[in-house]
Amino acid sequence: MSEIQNTTNHADLAEVFNNDEARVDWHDETLWWIRSKRDVAVNKISNWEVLRETASQIKHNVLSNLNNYLQQFEGNAIANGIIVHWAADATEHNQIVLSILRKHSIGQMVKSKSMLTEECHLNDFLEVNGINVIDSDLGERIVQLAKEMPSHIVLPCIHKKKEEIGELFHQHLGTPAGNADPQFLTETARQHLRDTFLTRRAALTGVNFAIAETGEFVVCTNEGNADMGAHLADVHIASMGIEKIIPERKHLGVFLRLLTRSATGQPITTYSSHFKRPNKGKEMHIIIVDNGRSIQLGREDFRNSLKCIRCGACMNTCPVYRRSGGHSYHNAISGPIGSILAPNLDMEKYADLPFASTLCGSCTNVCPVKIDIHQQLYKWRQVIVKNGYVPAAKTASMKIMDWTLSSPTAYHTAGKAGRLVLKYAPFMVNNKLNPWYKHRDMPEPPKESFGEWYKKNRK
């Protein structure tokens, strides 16, 4: 699978996306429709805000006691007959998967949706090592055929039009050219993947929730692909980040009520499967992955990002995401939540992401676990600047601005001299060719400022 080259940043990628305005409108409307469905669903739950607060507090407790919960989960899972592995980073995670497959001489694996394996670039790694991987979630399968990354954590191919998907299926699965009917294409994928499910001896799934109290884990899908893969294979591997822990089974009641209503506006996913013990004669593995999460846990301002349950609501509501597309974030997890997670992994590479926001705050309001996403975007900006990951020209212009705005004399001089040049105006900072003018006119300069008017007309 090819990865998006980080030769550019969010603004540049977003500009390319915006070259096709009709497509931007389509993308925006599609995601807004999901946001609207979410609104309808959550408004049916009278104590929705209480649920969000409760979920947030449960997750806060999890983060504060994670060390113990992880060990409790591990102990119970082992007692249940599950084999537990620990991976400090993506490389180790991928090696563990490979070693399990090699031990069983398995060369082909079916995989259901797991954003963690996207984060670890597992597919690329396994392909290089001669393992064939087929993604079974329809959207994931489509982006896999297109050799792209998912552009959304819940809706992997939301950026693709049905005609493009029809063409992919024509090329790869032999469907008639020009057939772009979603019903037909889904049926084709069903037949194609049914064969895959029946012939793969290993299945990898993600984990939505891992329960410390019982050592079981829950996987949620609408398609049934995780279950089809896991129950038909000899070996089930489940990959989870350390933050997927919840304390007790009854807490699932809170999270399962929130998750899908936030994600798609459905009351619950079609399947919420609880895996506690391997079937007899079969193996069940859990890989517990850190990959930077314990570092994020130590960042006081950013640790709440680990509460995320991957519903994607912040993407659907984000006016920037809707008009820039998931790929413009050049990271496995896109959108607002991706923008606060990614700088923890590589501050330089993802220095642009916290700036890809107007700080409108809608993300924070839809978040089912009340992560203060837009506040964290603001805080990441401060951290990124302090660490020197901004262009020198921007720093210089900010210093001039500071000097102008800290001194009433300088401010008034600049104002008088430059109401036409507007040297100090926020939108002129970092100005090369003044991008404002491309689609917008400047305000008409008034004869006098308010300060000047006030001097003449009062006192």
Q: What is the dihedral of CA 12, 15, 20, 25, to 10 degrees?
A: 120
| 106 vs 130, beta carbon nearer other proteins | 106
Q: Interaction with other proteins in 240-279: which residues (CB under 8 A)?
A: 242, 247, 249-254, 256-257, 264, 266-279
**Interface with other proteins (CB under 8 A), residue from 1, 4, 23, 61:** 61
Whether 70 contacts 361, CB under 8 Å: no
**Interface with other proteins (CB under 8 A), residue from 5, 178, 392, 458:** 458
Element (H, E) at 271: strand 271-275
Tokens of 238: 């489940």
Kind of pairing between the strands at 83-87 and 283-289: parallel
Q: Which stretch binds other proteins (CB under 8 A): 118-126, 200-208, 292-300, 335-343?
A: 292-300
**Interface with other proteins (CB under 8 A), residue from 102, 128, 298, 417:** 298
Rounded-to-integer distance, Cα 345 and Cα 291, Å: 8
Q: Which stretch binds other proteins (CB under 8 A): 101-109, 117-125, 329-337, 439-447?
A: 439-447
Instruction: Examine residue 1 and tell whether it contacts other proteins (CB under 8 A).
Output: no
Smallest gap, in angstroms, from Cβ of residue 130 to other proteins? 25
Instruction: Examine residue 449 and tell whether it contacts other proteins (CB under 8 A).
Output: yes
Instruction: Examine residue 378 and tell whether it contacts other proteins (CB under 8 A).
Output: yes
Q: Which residues contact 409 (CB under 8 A, 6 or more apart)?
A: none
Instruction: Examine residue 311 and tell whether it contacts other proteins (CB under 8 A).
Output: no
Instruction: Examine residue 210 and tell whether it contacts other proteins (CB under 8 A).
Output: no
Rounded-to-integer distance, Cα 87 and Cα 292, Å: 11
Instruction: Examine residue 386 and tell whether it contacts other proteins (CB under 8 A).
Output: yes
Closest CA to 141 of 167, 165, 170: 165
Count of residues making up the chain: 459
Smallest gap, in angstroms, from Cβ of residue 325 to other proteins? 10
Rounded-to-integer distance, Cα 40 and Cα 146, Å: 34
Any idea which residue has 């670039």 for tokens? 121
Rounded-to-integer distance, Cα 430 and Cα 390, Å: 11
**Interface with other proteins (CB under 8 A), residue from 22, 178, 392, 438:** 438
Rounded-to-integer distance, Cα 426 and Cα 398, Å: 10
Smallest gap, in angstroms, from Cβ of residue 99 to other proteins? 13
Instruction: Examine residue 5 and tell whether it contacts other proteins (CB under 8 A).
Output: no
| 130 vs 273, beta carbon nearer other proteins | 273
Q: Which stretch binds other proteins (CB under 8 A): 97-105, 200-208, 287-295, 336-344?
A: 287-295
Q: Interaction with other proteins in 62-81: which residues (CB under 8 A)?
A: 63-67, 70-71
Q: Interaction with other proteins in 116-175: which residues (CB under 8 A)?
A: 136-139, 142, 155-158, 161-162, 165
DSSP structural state of residue 241: E
**Interface with other proteins (CB under 8 A), residue from 20, 102, 346, 358:** 358
204 - beta bridge partners? 111, 237
**Interface with other proteins (CB under 8 A), residue from 186, 346, 413, 421:** 186
Q: Which residues contact 339 (CB under 8 A, 6 or more apart)?
A: 329, 350, 353, 354, 356, 357, 377, 380
Instruction: Examine residue 340 and tell whether it contacts other proteins (CB under 8 A).
Output: no
